[in-house]
């Protein structure tokens, strides 16, 4: 699971939007490009989840995981804008919705260089769990949405 609080909040927002406004981008095409360090072999879980939400928003023919453009070669990552110093640890995603005539483009991005934001999310999650143990909370599996809803982030 993604431990970056801001990306988790962004995903939750897009999930809400897809539930409340299905087809709001009807007739739009969708392109997703994600770049991660070359050692990441699989498609980003965040990008896969965003495909679900954005497919609902755009309606029509869905795009699939295979349609996600995955950048793992340094020359392509640099051309995408990834700083050279972040090639060994980054997560850059761009989601582009384009109207059928090309006159309207919506673009959502989140670009992470390094791993600090994930570590901060882990610290908040551990603090959240410690508080749940201290208050003898019900035993259940919590997730980062629970951490966000608690609003006790550092």
Identify the band that residue 1 occupies on the pLDDT scale cut at 50, 70 and 90: confident
* Mean pLDDT, rounded, for 129-148: 93
What was the pLDDT predicted at 151? 87
Tell whether the model's pLDDT for residue 154 goes beyond 90: no
Which position among 5, 36, 70, 110 bears the catalytic label? 36
Cβ 84 vs Cβ 52: under 8 Å: no
- Helices assigned H by DSSP within the chain: 5-20, 45-58, 74-80, 116-134, 144-150
Which two structure tokens, joined as six digits, stand for 123?
């610290």
pLDDT tens track for 101-128? 999 999 999 999 999 999 999 999 999 9
Identify the band that residue 153 occupies on the pLDDT scale cut at 50, 70 and 90: low
Rounded distance between C-alpha atoms, residue 128 and residue 130, angstroms: 5
What was the pLDDT predicted at 48? 95
Q: How many beta carbons lie within 10 A of that of residue 29, not counting itself?
A: 16
Average pLDDT, the chain: 95
70 is catalytic: no
* Mean pLDDT, rounded, for 28-50: 95
pLDDT tens track for 13-34? 999 999 999 999 999 999 999 9
48 is catalytic: no
* Mean pLDDT, rounded, for 45-69: 96
């Amino acid at each position: 699971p993604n431990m970056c609080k801001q990306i988790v909040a962004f995903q939750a927002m897009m999930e809400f939007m897809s539930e409340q406004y299905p087809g709001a981008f009807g007739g739009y095409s969708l392109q997703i490009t994600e770049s991660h360090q070359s050692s990441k072999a699989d498609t980003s879980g965040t990008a896969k989840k965003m495909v679900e939400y954005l497919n609902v928003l755009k309606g029509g023919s869905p795009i699939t995981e295979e349609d996600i453009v995955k950048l793992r070669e340094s020359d392509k990552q640099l051309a995408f804008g990834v700083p050279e110093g972040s090639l060994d640890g980054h997560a850059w995603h761009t989601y582009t919705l384009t109207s059928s005539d090309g006159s309207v483009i919506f673009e959502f991005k989140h670009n992470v260089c390094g791993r600090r934001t994930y570590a901060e999310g882990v610290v908040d999650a551990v603090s959240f769990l410690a508080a749940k143990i201290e208050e003898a909370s019900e035993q259940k599996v919590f997730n980062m949405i629970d951490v966000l809803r608690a609003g006790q982030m550092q």
